[in-house]
Amino acid sequence: MNRFLRLVSRDLRLALRQGSDATVAVMFFVLCVVLFPFGVGPEANILARIAAGVIWVAALLASLLSLERLFQNDYEDGSLELLTLTSLPLEAVVFAKVLAHWLVTGLPLIVAAPLLALLLNMNPEGFPVLIVTLAVGTPTLSLIGAIGAALTLGARRGGVLLSLLILPLYIPVLIFGAGAIDASLSGFTARPHLLLLCGLLVAALPLAPWAGAAALRQAIE
Amino acid sequence: MPLFAATDLTCLRGERLVFQGLSFDVEAGGGLVLLGPNGSGKSSLLRMMAGLLRPFSGGMSWDGAAVSSDPDLHRSRVHYVGHLDAVKPVLSARENLAFWASMGGASDPMGAAMAALERLGVPHIADVPGRYLSAGQKRRLNLARILAAPAPLWLLDEPSVALDRAGIGQLEAAIADHRRGGGIVVVSTHAEIALPGAATLHMDDFAADNLQHDADDQEFEP
């Protein structure tokens, strides 16, 4: 446990000192959403109608953007090999890196989302559900993305490959995330969507580190 | 009984047979020097000993127990120094080292890091960020990592690269200390590193028949 926290805190420190990864993801998220009013026009009703979907798609892309480098730096400088030689299981290494990554890139998205929802004229009644779906959904995205990041490690143009591999797997999270907000805005209960979203997170929590570790073992050999 | 032994190891990389029928045994406190031209499989053998690479056939044992029966346990007894120095550019030398010391189980990582830097003669780089370190200083930092936390088996892949004469001397002293304490050191090298009483393993003796020596000048990347 101690080693796990050490790894998380090292990754956090690296991310905060480098700064770029954390800010790039949230800046991309904001810019992506801000583009929509320019594209579809300033019609308030249309924007309010598409707000949930737009925010979710942008969050999904922002998460994908930063995931590419999840293991890349450690792989290139030899740290990953050394991490596999510690008594911390590789599954825990993957989980620690995902956790640090989510704290740095996922949390700022959740903070920025209500502001963007306001910009898109979303009904404020939907804000709590928006925050809850992102709080449950973005860790799921990071976990699923970690499998792709591990699988594409060392591949040339890994980023493109990562998108092709991972985006289809993100679809269920997108459907239930945006669906929950739409449901609550149209006066239905968001509960079934949220439960399914939690189900996805609970499934990804053990499976993603396990699959990611298996992929990393391949990459290291 | 030898502490660390292997029988009949075969290494296959891609479709190329790198070496076959390789056996060794090392007593506690012993050393093993791997010699051979580029591409003869020194790095592959060290990675195999570390558990980073699975042997195609054959097996290794530690204290009589097969390594393959508990690979995680084996990995935790290894200190491996490869070609890459694993130095993070934004962390200071001491922070880099303290992280690896804590992952290796040191109770006081910062203190252990400082002591290791002193033993390798570079306490003055403690607060220098990794990106400002020279190749030789990074190498010393990587070697300090194996001093900062204890592990019985040291696997050093060309540790003298980028080191000056004094650095090699400090490394030799550290290796001698480690062996006096019952540890094992396996070194691959082209340069002169003195390991008194260490056995040598000529990788050429285990080269597969299809391995031609015209591959000599190709650097073998694991």
Verify whether the Cβ–Cβ distance B82 to A221 is below 8 Å. Answer: no
Mean pLDDT (whole number) for A167-184: 93
User: Nearest by CB to B82, which of A3, A76, A81?
Assistant: A81
H/E stretch holding B200: strand B199-202
Q: Does residue B112 belong to any structural domain of this protein?
A: yes
- Domain ranges, residue B96: 85-150
Residue B80 located in a structural domain: no
Task: Return the SS3 of B1.
Answer: coil
Could you give the percent of chain B with pLDDT greater than 90?
A: 35
Asked if residues B44 and B11 have their Cβ atoms less than 8 Å apart, the reply is yes
Encoded tokens for B221: 């990347």
Question: Does residue B144 lie in a domain region?
Answer: yes
Low-confidence winner among A73-87, B115-129, B203-217 (lowest mean pLDDT): B203-217
Strand order in the sheet with B184-188: B78-81, B153-157, B184-188, B31-35, B199-202
Give the pLDDT score at A1.
64
Smallest Cα distance from A139 to chain B, Å: 25
Q: How far is B87 from chain A (nearest CA, A)?
A: 7
For residue A14, pLDDT beyond 60:
yes
Please name which of A1, A92, A82 lies closest in space to residue B78, comparing C-alpha atoms.
A82
Residue B166 CB neighbour total at 10 angstroms:
10
Mean pLDDT of chain B: 86
User: Per residue in A103-135, pLDDT tens?
Assistant: 999 999 999 999 999 999 888 888 999 999 999
For residue B111, being part of any structural domain is answered with: yes
Position B133 in a domain: yes
Output the CA angle A215-A217-B2, nearest 5 degrees. 165
Question: Is residue A34 pLDDT above 50, yes or no?
Answer: yes
Residue B177's closest CA among B110, B115, B97, B101? B115
Residue of higher predicted confidence among B71 and A209? A209
- Predicted local confidence at residue A19, as pLDDT: 75
Into how many domains does chain B fold? 1
Is the residue at B89 inside a domain? yes
Residue B116: inside a domain: yes
CA–CA min distance A201, chain B (Å)? 28
User: Are A85 and B50 within 8 A, CB to CB?
Assistant: yes
Which of B1-5, B29-33, B95-99 bottoms out in mean pLDDT, i.e. has the lowest? B1-5
pLDDT at B189: 84
Residue B24 located in a structural domain: no
Contact check, Cβ <8 Å, B76/A85: yes
Q: Does B35 touch chain A (CB under 8 A)?
A: no
**Directed axis angle between helix B93-103 and helix B109-119, to 10°?**
120
pLDDT of residue B36: 86
